[in-house]
Amino acid sequence: MDTLTRLENTIAERRRAAPESSYVASLNAKGLPKICEKVGEEATETVIAALTGSDADFTGEAADLMFHLLVLLGAKDIPLAKVLAELDRREGTSGLDEKAARTPQ
Q: What is the tens place of the pLDDT at every residue in 15-43?
A: 999 999 999 999 999 999 999 999 999 99
Q: What angle do CA 18, 61, 36 make, to 5 degrees?
A: 50
Report pLDDT for 48.
Answer: 98
Containing 72, the helix (H) or strand (E) segment is helix 55-75
pLDDT in tens, 45-102: 999 999 999 999 999 999 999 999 999 999 999 999 999 999 999 998 887 877 788 7
- Helix-strand-coil percent breakdown of the chain, rounded to 5? 80, 0, 20
In one-letter notation, the amino acid at residue 81 is A
Find the farthest-apart pair of alpha carbons in the chain and give their distance in angstroms, rounded. 47
Report pLDDT for 105.
Answer: 62
pLDDT at 104 over 80: no
Report pLDDT for 95.
Answer: 77
